Structure 1
Amino acid sequence: MSPEPDTSPVGIEHLPDGVLVADGAARVVQLNSAAVRILQRQRDDLLGRDVREVLPLQDTQGRRWWTCTDPWNGLATRTGHRERLLLLPGKEQPIELFVTATYHRPGHLAPVDRVVLSVRDAISRRRTHEEDGALISTVAHELRSPLTSVKGFTATLLRRWDRFTDDQKRFMLETIEHDADRVTRLITELLDISRIDAGRLEVRRQPVDVESAARRYVDRMVASGTDARQFVVNADTELPEVWADPDRIEQVLANLLENAVRHGDGTVTLDLMSGSEVLTPGAAAEPVLVVSVSDEGEGIDEADLQRVFTRFWHGRRRGGTGLGLYLVRGLVEAHGGRITVGRAASGGAQFRFTLPASAPDHVA
């Protein structure tokens, strides 16, 4: 039987996964370019040949998959197989594939006349699993320290309350409160990241005085022990009105300011300016509020600038989850703004983000 060309307007050639079609005699009659790439075989080596011979798939236990599934001689009621991880022998090492099989019968209990295989490279799936594992490990590490502190101080106060002065009790309770806030913030960030990844982040817009919000957060950092002389806040006399989610904007400012203090050096400068920017490709420039946070540290290596806003990126000074800047970008973009990173005039790192000015057409 001669191979059938893929002539449909949107056929298997347009699918992102690899697809092979075998006929009632198990011969490969169709396949797309994705299958050729994933299977690392030439098209002519597959077309017209027995699919069981050219694709000697095995399960993870080393058993021949075709012997187990046998679409042509197996149960007459079977319609296919759900996705399974299978191995295809390669030149140097097996190729890991996720394979889904669908059996077509011309009538009820009729012999199979088409077997459609969907193959997907396992590398991307494995990379996702590795990232999930890294996230779990990172979160567990970040939670351990504050929870250990909370547990330790709480146990000490419960067992030896009468042995401590009021000042000592206050110190331990303030530490417990601080560490509980750290845990709450981490959990909030993780939930927001999951919403960003799923496209479900809600932004509740209202008029926000970003300058006041920035100054309040600086005051909060000073009250927590940071030297007030380390901060400089500059703002234009007239700033445009911004409709944004105040809690989300505080998250952005908190991450950028704390990042500058933790990983930078010298004075941290926060500038707020009026500006204009093209926020939508092909559209005219729109009025925006421009916010930049810069420090006087060593800055970020040129080679790392493209990776700053990715998951788990850390600078020279490791610490934290490596998720803060990834979250910041997601929050800024959820407001319709943009964020960039570069080198400040002082030589340190400079993060610059914009927020659209004026009220949106539909306020969430």
Structure 2
Amino acid sequence: MGSGDDGHVVTLPASPESVQAASSLAELLPDGLVVVGGDGIIRFVNREACRILRRASEEMVARPALEALPLSDKYGRDWWQHTDPWTGPSTRTRHRERLLVGPDGRDVLVTARYIRAEGNGRLQRMLVGLRDAEARLRAERDQATVLSTVAHELRAPLTSVTGFTSSLLRRWDRFTDEQKRLMIETIESDASRLTRLITELLDISRLDSDSLSLRLTPVDLHELLAAHVGRHELSRTGGQVLLRLGPSAQEHGLPEVWADTDRLQQVFFNLIENALRHGAAPVTVTLDRDAPDGDTVLVLVDDRGAGIAPEDRDKVFGRFWRGSDGATTGLGLYVVRGLVEAHGGSVSVESNPLGGARFAVRLPAGVPDAVALP
């Protein structure tokens, strides 16, 4: 009931049975379909087209397409008159997909295929394909958000790095040793920030494309967390971080965990930095079993801040969700969830008994079923 992707004409069925069968098949299409006759009258509209256009088939079938299905481009030009399918070039067989404005002012993606008579090229049928533009527009907005966020986050540290390096190169002798040290420390900090941002962006790409690879080895979580907390205390930035073992871990010990060490370091670095930035010190990291005899390791990261509102707890792990202050890229917690789930675990957020937010990471003991050893 139309033309194939290669442009060859498909003969329309003529018998009532064939027409009914073709109509039934058209209802199975994922896209909207409107069939317009050579006289400009709409012959058929499938359910998906009715949904996209928000019109009943009775409002369109047996009516002129120009009236029942008004379409215009972004400049307000009538699409039917612009394309002129009835008196335009007889060699034209299709129109590529375009974003048009539909009857109710909503954006809709439109394609057209022409079925012409052999010999004189007269239009016999016109197949108008319709797609809901919301998904594409949402993807475009997300892409714009990515570009805007990345540009903003890259600009600030790059400005600092280029400014300080330029000053040091041109006026080295004018600065004291203390000033030089401060400037170099700032350059190092901003360079590390850039590295983390680029790493997060690469991880998002891998997570979204299911191409993230893990190098699994036995990991001593207590040793890993103790090393991270120790490095933080040496730097003495952002407030105090405490590490403790929960009661079940003290009594029964911890089961063996197989994981990617670098990825877990990234997970807990992001969670602790998030707690220090958005909560309040001290931040307490508790390592325990999820149950006294269970095979799941539990890591709790508690802060003393204002906490996270219940209605926002499902949003914080979303990509580019930045909260009311907009102080971060909104990438860190999205990456945390992706990396934890890649290990076969889970992460959630709730309130802790002392006030503030509690992020709970649960990791299965042994080799996670969700991944395979290299």
TM-score (norm 1): 0.85
Residue 350 of structure 2 corresponds to which residue in structure 1? 342
**What is the rounded CA distance, in whole Å, between the counterparts of 1:288 and 1:241 in structure 2?**
10
Residue 33 of structure 2 corresponds to which residue in structure 1? 19
Alpha-carbon spacing, 1:199–1:101, altered in 2? closer, same or farther (3 Å): farther
Alpha-carbon spacing, 1:360–1:352, altered in 2? closer, same or farther (3 Å): closer
TM-score (norm 2): 0.83
Preserved CA contact (<8 Å) 1:215 1:233 = no
**Within 5 Å, which residues of 2 pair with 1:258-269?**
258-269=273-284
Q: Does 1:357 align with 2:365?
A: yes
**Within 5 Å, which residues of 2 pair with 1:298-317?**
298-315=306-323, 317=325
Residue 281 of structure 1 corresponds to which residue in structure 2? none
CA drift of 1:23 comes to: 3.7
The number of residue pairs the alignment matches comes to 352
Q: Does 1:146 align with 2:157?
A: yes
**Within 5 Å, which residues of 2 pair with 1:1-364?**
7=21, 11-90=25-104, 94-105=105-116, 110-226=121-237, 229-234=240-245, 236-237=249-250, 238-275=253-290, 287-315=295-323, 317-360=325-368, 362-364=372-374
Alpha-carbon spacing, 1:107–1:334, altered in 2? closer, same or farther (3 Å): farther
CA drift of 1:28 comes to: 2.8
**Mean Cα displacement is larger for which, 219-228 or 173-182?**
219-228
Is the partner of 1:298 in helix, strand or coil?
A: coil
Q: Deviations over 1:10-35 (max 9, x none)?
A: 83434443222334444333323221
**What is the rounded CA distance, in whole Å, between the counterparts of 1:64 and 1:153 in structure 2?**
57
Alpha-carbon spacing, 1:75–1:294, altered in 2? closer, same or farther (3 Å): same
Unaligned runs of 5+ in 2: 1-13
Q: Deviations over 1:212-251 (max 9, x none)?
A: 2222222222222237744233252532222222222222
Preserved CA contact (<8 Å) 2:238 2:276 = no
**What is the rounded CA distance, in whole Å, between the counterparts of 2:58 and 2:25 in structure 1?**
20
**What is the rounded CA distance, in whole Å, between the counterparts of 2:162 and 2:148 in structure 1?**
21
Q: Deviations over 1:164-184 (max 9, x none)?
A: 344433332222111111011
Preserved CA contact (<8 Å) 1:104 1:115 = yes
Letter in structure 2 aligned against 1:248: R
Preserved CA contact (<8 Å) 1:57 1:64 = yes
Alpha-carbon spacing, 1:10–1:209, altered in 2? closer, same or farther (3 Å): farther
Letter in structure 2 aligned against 1:40: R
**What is the rounded CA distance, in whole Å, between the counterparts of 1:206 and 1:79 in structure 2?**
59
Is the partner of 2:199 in helix, strand or coil?
A: helix
**What is the rounded CA distance, in whole Å, between the counterparts of 1:8 and 1:47 in structure 2?**
16
Alpha-carbon spacing, 1:213–1:8, altered in 2? closer, same or farther (3 Å): farther
**What is the rounded CA distance, in whole Å, between the counterparts of 2:257 and 2:115 in structure 1?**
58
Unaligned runs of 5+ in 1: 277-285
CA drift of 1:118 comes to: 2.2
Q: Percent identity?
A: 48
Alpha-carbon spacing, 1:59–1:246, altered in 2? closer, same or farther (3 Å): same
Q: Superposition RMSD on alpha carbons, in Å?
A: 2.9
